Amino acid sequence: MKKTKRLVGIPVASGIVIGNAFILNREIEHVPHMEIEDSEIQAEYERFDKAVNEAVKQLERIRSQVKEKVGESQSYIFDAKIMMLKDDDIREKTFRKIKEERINCEAAFDEVIKGVIRAYDEIDDEYLSERRSDIENVRRRILNNLLGKSHIQITEIKEKVVVIAHDLAPSDTALINKEIILGFATDVGGKTSHTAIMARSLEIPAVVGLQNITDQVATGDTVIIDGNSGIVIINPDAETLNEYEYKKKKYEDSRKLLFSLKDLPAETLDGYKLKILANIELPDEVNAVETYGGDGIGLYRTEYLFMNRKTMPQEEEQFENYRKIAERMNPKPVTIRTFDLGGDKFISQMDMAEELNPAMGLRAIRFCLEKVDVFKTQIRAILRASAYGNLKILYPMISGIQELKRAKSILEECKEELKEEGIAFDENIKLGIMIEVPTAAIMADFFAREVDFFSIGTNDLIQYCLAIDRVNEKVAYLYDPLHPAILRLLDTIVFSAHRYKIPVCLCGEMSAEPIYAFLLLGFEIDELSTNPRSILDIKRIVRNSNLSDAKEIVSKILTMDTADSIRKYIDSIILDKYPEEFFSIE
């Protein structure tokens, strides 16, 4: 019997599946590097263009298939890849390298595209840095065409299997037949990769970021994928198989029970009502918000509209996008965050100076105030869409009062323009700010006088407060939502907001964890915004909790000076008051 192996990765789509492994190996082991003669340069140019054109045709065919199966809203993923394939900058650099270094087009292109990949690796933003996998997929497709290798399609798999791969392209996950592909696990990837987004959309158990699972598994091996915990077990023994068969059944039964809560309010046993909204990145995720009974959309990230394209999205395109979501969710609220990008994170839209630390440079609201025309285009589109539903505007990364006042004045300018043009909009549209920079948290009482609501972005707030890079594995362990300083800041923010009678929403990853959701009750947060599939879990927590218990625990932990002491207290007190399976504490 083969030895049992247990690996731990990043859970990106919940559920448990047990099945036989199928290795989907597409890695390019060797890229030939050859010197060429002057007389061969033109032929290499033509070979490269032919390979790119064929890659475009391949993706266009896949896009058509995806449109039929999944719908129009997912096609942007393939539009972005096709745009990358047609990027003149990559083509020109490849041609220049062929000519100047007298090398074959495979070697020239590989060096150029790897430079692009390295640039993505340096981006200090989880969502954007994971776009490198899209570049990797483009690299692999063009090189396979140049080398004459075929592309194995996931649709060619005919037996029920668990797919194991180094990475999966969106074109793979979008065409998955759930009756055949039971789940998948990959070496690379993260929670915000396109592969993860598609897995959640299709509700297929998946674990990514396993580093070397493709070296650990053979086709035909029995594999357990636990998309709840991130555990993958290869060749389990009989006892482990029985354990996970039981866990699988228990999970499936619990999901059925959770859906009975869909239309019930998130109200504690002692009468405190909380709103649970959803974070979305793609228009298609509105389906999941409705499926899981969200009270609205607490954070619509609009970055994807601006990425991987050669021109900025025009007002009409943005308006149509926002209008459709507003109409679909009406009368429930939709909070649209103005785009949180910097010039360094656009592929080829505008020339921006390189920055040593782009995460703290010209990004988000700072970029918007620098490029007012771009900012006004988005604001006008949101305002116009507000006539079709309950929209709110959210400014990211606000760090000072003057910055906010300038952004507010631009909003007023846009309102006046639309009035003069006779275009309808909600004149009383609510405006809020992300509290994600320490200065904003410290000055929350001043900001509360200027806006209609706060939205706490715990991901960046924790990162900036603790001076760590959460995507740097050497210091990521310091990222701790239970750090006393973070909890004190949360208390300050909520106190300041409620003092001026404005609501507070928390929309970071912290809201998706059951134990944190319980603690946030104790801070008397008004709204939680999380990924759609966590909504029912949080609702279960709220409906089985007492606000009085949560407040008592929060008052105690605010007197403690270390995260370890807070964690131990929570472990001893909360698990004594509630069933052990109620929470998961790390």
The residues carrying an active-site annotation are: 194, 507
- Please give the Cα distance from 126 to 470 (Å, whole number): 8
Give the Cα-Cα-Cα angle 193, 194, 199 (nearest 5 degrees). 100
Residue 559 and residue 439: Cα distance in Å, rounded? Answer: 23
Q: How far apart are alpha carbons 245 and 250 in whole angstroms?
A: 9
Sheet architecture: strand order including 5-8: 5-8, 231-234, 222-226, 16-24, 161-165, 181-186, 206-208, 10-13
Tokens of 534: 């966590």
Tokens coding 266: 């998130």
Question: How many whole angstroms separate alpha carbon 504 and alpha carbon 451?
Answer: 11
CA dist., res. 393 & res. 432, Å (int):
6
Q: What is the dihedral of CA 247, 249, 253, 255, to 10 degrees?
A: 60
189: left (phi over 0), alpha (psi -120 to 50) or beta: left
Place of tokens 């990145």: 281
Return d(Cα 159, Cα 132) in angstroms, integer.
31
Say if CB 329 and CB 337 are below 8 A apart. Answer: no
Determine how β-strand 10-13 pairs with β-strand 206-208: antiparallel
Task: Tell me which amino acid residue 134 is.
Answer: D
Class of residue 260 by CB neighbours under 10 A (exposed 0-12, middle 13-18, buried 19+)? exposed
Q: Is 42 exposed, middle or buried (0-12, 13-18, 19+ CB in 10 A)?
A: exposed
Interatomic CA distance for residues 412 and 391, integer angstroms: 16
**Which residues, at least 6 apart from 158, have a Cβ–Cβ distance to it below 8 Å?**
180
Alpha-carbon gap, residue 506 to 189, rounded angstroms: 26
Q: Long-range CB contacts (< 8 A, 24+ apart) of 39-46?
A: 41/98, 41/99, 41/102, 44/98, 44/104, 44/105, 44/108, 45/95, 45/98, 45/105
Task: Please state the separation of Cα 232 from the chain's center in Å.
Answer: 22
Q: Which of 285, 315, 307 is nearest to 298 (CA)?
A: 285
